[in-house]
């Protein structure tokens, strides 16, 4: 046994020694898989596009409003967005600020102490308002009229009223001329009626001439033809809202009778004209003033004794107090 073990050891010692193999690091393979291109962006581009489209829509709406409204209407829109009523509201009064579990919901219409309402000016400039009546059942017709009036400035109201007066004056002048032309009794004196536009309104002057006088000499008694003429004028102006001023004129011929003179005579003739118009149906409240100016405002300044200086002036006054050019 000992001999066999010795022989085995001798044989192993005679074999050449094996070379030691060095250890290498492990090789790791990575595979890169291209994913969906939209996965890195998601839907953010849609939100950006929607924001841009909203901004463009707001921009074009602003441009349309600037082009479709007047200066007064734009001022009304600017006043609507001024922080007047809400600027003094306490924070504790606003919706959802009453502390923990307190206050109203921000969606609650009663959450805000002052609810904003659209002005009637915006309703006027909106194309939708031309399609039909307003659907606002909470506002009465009188409230809407009050809002419409308050949206307009005083200067704007005067301008609108003056333009309406111009149209009414054109209609009145044509109507009176047609009546005089159709009335055989007044056809011969139609040339004695003059229509003059002035800063106060439309002045209708009825002028005397050598063969016709509205009043008897030195009296305030109106002749029959003059009465018929005044009635026709009064009927034409009866339905107009304008105030009326009546002025009497005389020539420069001296007149004096028991303390009366051209001043008192011109005033008496103006008052007679007013009474004649009132008898036709014009209420006393329609008359703004009745005056006599004697011979101080002659029709023919070069000849103070000219019969045409004797006349009656009936002036339809502008509702705004001035003609359109003055009201702007």
Residue 88, in any domain of the structure: no
pLDDT tens, residue by residue, 154-200: 777 777 887 888 888 899 899 888 888 888 888 778 888 999 999 88
Residue 100, in any domain of the structure: no
The residue ranking higher by pLDDT, 184 or 97, is 184
pLDDT tens, residue by residue, 38-95: 555 567 888 999 999 999 999 998 888 888 888 888 888 777 777 654 445 454 444 4
- For 124-148, what is the mean pLDDT? 48
pLDDT computed for residue 116 by the predictor: 47
pLDDT computed for residue 82 by the predictor: 73
Q: Band of the pLDDT at 119, cuts 50, 70, 90?
A: very low
Pairing label, strands 244-249, 311-317: antiparallel
The residue ranking higher by pLDDT, 107 or 309, is 309
pLDDT computed for residue 221 by the predictor: 92
The residue ranking higher by pLDDT, 78 or 142, is 78
Name the domain count of the chain.
1
Query: Closest by alpha carbon to 250, among 325, 314, 306?
Result: 306
The rounded distance, in Å, linking the Cα atoms of 201 and 245 is 10
Q: Report how far apart, in Å, the C-alpha atoms of 304 and of each of 43, 209, 267, 284, 307 are.
A: 93, 14, 19, 33, 9
Q: What percent of the chain has pLDDT over 90?
A: 26
* pLDDT tops 90 at residue 127: no
The rounded distance, in Å, linking the Cα atoms of 215 and 231 is 15
Q: CB of 205 within 8 A of CB of 196?
A: yes
Task: Describe the strand order of the beta sheet including 244-249 as a list of residue ranges.
Answer: 193-197, 201-207, 311-317, 244-249, 287-292
Q: Band of the pLDDT at 126, cuts 50, 70, 90?
A: very low
pLDDT computed for residue 317 by the predictor: 92
* pLDDT tops 60 at residue 328: no
Q: Which domain CATH number covers 161?
A: 3.30.1330.60
Residue 25, in any domain of the structure: no
Q: Band of the pLDDT at 122, cuts 50, 70, 90?
A: very low
* pLDDT tops 80 at residue 30: no
pLDDT computed for residue 234 by the predictor: 92
* pLDDT tops 80 at residue 222: yes
Hey, which residues does 247 pair with through a beta bridge? Answer: 291, 313
The residue ranking higher by pLDDT, 7 or 286, is 286
Residue 19, in any domain of the structure: no
Query: Coil, strand, or helix at residue 255?
Result: coil
Give the domain extent around 297. 156-321
Q: Report how far apart, in Å, the C-alpha atoms of 270 and of each of 175, 204, 209, 248, 312 are.
A: 23, 13, 18, 5, 7
Residue 50, in any domain of the structure: no
Q: How many CA atoms lie within 13 A of 58 on its CB side?
A: 6
Residue 168, in any domain of the structure: yes
**Could you tell me the two tokens for 215?**
């009043």
Residue 246, in any domain of the structure: yes
pLDDT averaged over every residue in the chain: 76
pLDDT computed for residue 253 by the predictor: 86
Query: Coil, strand, or helix at residue 141?
Result: helix
Comparing 11-25, 199-213, 236-250, 268-282, the range with the smallest average pLDDT is 11-25
pLDDT tens, residue by residue, 274-293: 999 999 989 999 999 999 99
Residue 172, in any domain of the structure: yes
* Distance, C-alpha 97 to centroid of its chain: 40
pLDDT tens, residue by residue, 298-324: 999 999 889 899 999 999 998 876 665
């Amino acid at each position: 046994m000992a001999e066999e073990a010795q022989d085995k050891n001798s044989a192993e010692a005679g074999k050449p020694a094996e070379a030691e193999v060095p250890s290498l690091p492990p090789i790791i393979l990575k595979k890169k898989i291209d994913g969906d291109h939209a996965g890195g962006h998601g839907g953010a581009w849609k939100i950006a596009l929607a924001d841009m489209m909203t901004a463009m829509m707001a921009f074009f709406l602003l441009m349309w409003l600037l082009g479709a409204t007047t200066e007064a209407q734009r001022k009304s829109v600017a006043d609507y967005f001024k922080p007047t009523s809400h600027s003094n509201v306490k924070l504790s009064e606003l919706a959802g600020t009453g502390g923990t579990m307190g206050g109203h919901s921000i969606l609650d219409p009663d959450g805000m102490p002052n609810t904003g309402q659209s002005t009637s000016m915006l309703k006027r400039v909106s194309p939708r308002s031309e399609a039909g009546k307003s659907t606002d059942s909470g506002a009465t017709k009188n409230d809407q009229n009050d809002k419409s009036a308050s949206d307009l400035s005083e200067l704007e109201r005067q301008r609108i009223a003056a333009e309406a007066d111009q149209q009414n004056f054109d209609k009145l002048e044509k109507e009176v001329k047609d009546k005089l032309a159709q009335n055989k009794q007044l056809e011969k004196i139609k040339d004695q009626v003059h229509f003059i536009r002035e800063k106060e309104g439309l002045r209708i002057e009825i002028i005397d001439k050598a063969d016709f006088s509205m009043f008897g000499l030195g009296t305030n008694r109106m002749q029959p033809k003059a009465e018929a003429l005044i009635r026709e004028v009064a009927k034409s102006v009866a339905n107009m809202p304008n105030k009326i001023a009546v002025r009497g004129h005389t020539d420069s011929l001296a007149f004096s009778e028991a303390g009366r003179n051209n001043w008192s005579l011109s005033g008496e003739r103006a008052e007679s004209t007013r009474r004649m118009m009132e008898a036709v149906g014009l209420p006393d409240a329609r008359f703004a003033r009745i005056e006599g100016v004697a011979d101080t405002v002659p029709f023919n300044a070069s000849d103070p004794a000219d019969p045409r200086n004797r006349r009656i002036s009936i002036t339809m006054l502008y509702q705004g107090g001035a003609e359109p050019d003055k009201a702007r």
